[in-house]
Amino acid sequence: MSRREMMKAAAASGLVSMSMRAAGSDDEVAAAPAPSARVSRFEGLAFGMFVHWGLYSQIGRGEWAKHMQGIPTAEYMRLMETFTAADFDGRSYARLARRAGMRYITLTSRHHDGFSLYDTGGLSPYDVTHTPAGRDLVRDFVDGCRAEGIVPMLYCTTLDWSDPRFDADFDAYLRYLRDSVEILCTRYGSIGGFWFDGNWSRKDADWREDELYALIRRHQPEAMIINNTGIDAMGRAGHPEIDSVTFERGRPSTLDRRGAPKYVSGEMCHTMNFHWGKATRDFNFLSPAHVIESLCLCRRAGANLLMNLGPEAQGGLPAYESAAFGVVGAWIEGIGGASSSLYRGRPGVTGDGEDFGLSTDDGVDLYVFDLTATANTDVHGPARRGPGRRTFRGVTGEIRDVRWFDNDESLTFTRTDDGSLAIEATGYPYGTNTVVRVARARR
């Protein structure tokens, strides 16, 4: 079978791989589809907050504690007796997100342990109505997001460690899952998206995704549908109704959409340490600099970054993650804030190493890595590139000047023989280090 025939067959099946590439004479039959309005809006959000919170937060051993430590369901669910949610305020999360430059939040409405943060209407005994909290926490979350102009999204597990139907009567379990999602679709107004996770637990099962996604399209036609294909999948395409592929804790690659049946976006979810829920003994936190670099590398590939925090036992914001997110927000303010090319720029300009550019209507923002001469604060750390010539390919149109955002310094630039834009990247002035330094090349 020729490559042209392979591409057509893959497109017809709806299972075209994001890594399939047309080449040579086949390029003319492999045009990329245009994104739908909901996918375009999602890509413009750029940066989101993931929130993993549930009963497991009270014991502080991570969100997989029930499974990894073999805690029986009857024992585990006694945590409901002390779940007060006294410190949870959806609007405080939305305020933090806005300060951090995040434009959406994805909250775990129910995680794999089977406990729901909302009233399941009698579908399950394991929900917030049977706890001292006495209120619908998804409602609190959604209302708080809307008050601050943040898009609310909901994580929904498809795996359940506490429901016996998951193993004993899978069809009955799937009916329960669909009924639960219908509650989320109909009770809280417009939801930005539904983020599913768990199909990887039964790879050969029929999850009846057609029915689940049709239900969402009926009630929430503008919602994103995302289903995490697992930590090893790294952008693998899934069901044809999916709107975004996932890159869990891995660097996103640029999606080649040529010949695909629809335009699918990308999103990388990442956690600040090695757990998603609160883990009291996990001290291995990422730095704000790491988050800044991750956000930039996601946008280089045209993907969103969904950055996780694990709230305190009763829903309070964790101090370290809150502070780190605030630092990232200050960095975003320094490169344009709400009008930054992080949100509105178009990828496609490539540079040396990890450098890249995002095109806007009036120019290109050039993102420059490794201006710090060493990899860490120790002067004897591994050498990095430091200041000097950086070359960017794909910069079109006449460029009239190039200036750093942080101090408005004018940079020397020229065109190379192959048409690339070369700039002389100067070093940081004393007292400054923005991790990734951004220059605006104006047309």
Residue 163 CA to residue 306 CA, distance in Å, equals 29
In the structure encoding, which two tokens stand for residue 19, read together?
Answer: 């890594």
Confidence of residue 358 (pLDDT cuts 50, 70, 90): very high
For position 381, what pLDDT does the model report? 58
Neighbours of 199 (CB within 10 A): 18
Residue identified by tokens 């394991």 is: 126
The DSSP bridge partners found for residue 408 are none
Tens of pLDDT, residues 28-62: 457 999 999 999 999 999 999 999 999 999 999 99
For position 372, what pLDDT does the model report? 87
Work out the average pLDDT over 137-155.
98
Task: Report which of 262, 270, 217 is spatially closest to residue 244, judged by C-alpha positions.
Answer: 262
Runs of H (alpha helix) within 69-127: 73-76, 90-100
Under 8 Å between Cβ of 33 and 260 = yes
Residue 269 CA to residue 323 CA, distance in Å, equals 19
Confidence of residue 3 (pLDDT cuts 50, 70, 90): very low
Residue 19 has pLDDT above 80, yes or no: no
In the structure encoding, which two tokens stand for residue 305, read together?
Answer: 């970054």
Question: pLDDT above 90 covers what percent of the chain?
Answer: 86
Work out the average pLDDT over 117-122.
98
Question: pLDDT above 70 covers what percent of the chain?
Answer: 90
For position 91, what pLDDT does the model report? 98
Residue 61 CA to residue 422 CA, distance in Å, equals 50
Work out the average pLDDT over 150-172.
98
Q: Which domains does the chain have, with CATH numbers?
A: 38-341 (3.20.20.80), 345-442 (2.60.40.1180)
Residue 90 has pLDDT above 60, yes or no: yes
Tens of pLDDT, residues 375-405: 565 555 566 789 999 999 999 999 999 999 9
For position 380, what pLDDT does the model report? 55
pTM to 2 decimal places? 0.92
Neighbours of 79 (CB within 10 A): 20
The DSSP bridge partners found for residue 165 are none
Q: How far is CA 135 from CA 84, 139, 279, 310, in A?
A: 10, 8, 25, 21
Residue 7 has pLDDT above 90, yes or no: no
Under 8 Å between Cβ of 272 and 324 = yes
Average pLDDT in the chain: 91
Half-sphere exposure of 200 (CA within 13 A, CB side): 14
Work out the average pLDDT over 219-230.
94
For position 238, what pLDDT does the model report? 84
Q: Which distant-in-sequence residues (6+ apart) come within 8 Å of 175 by Cβ?
A: none
Runs of H (alpha helix) within 117-169: 137-147, 165-168
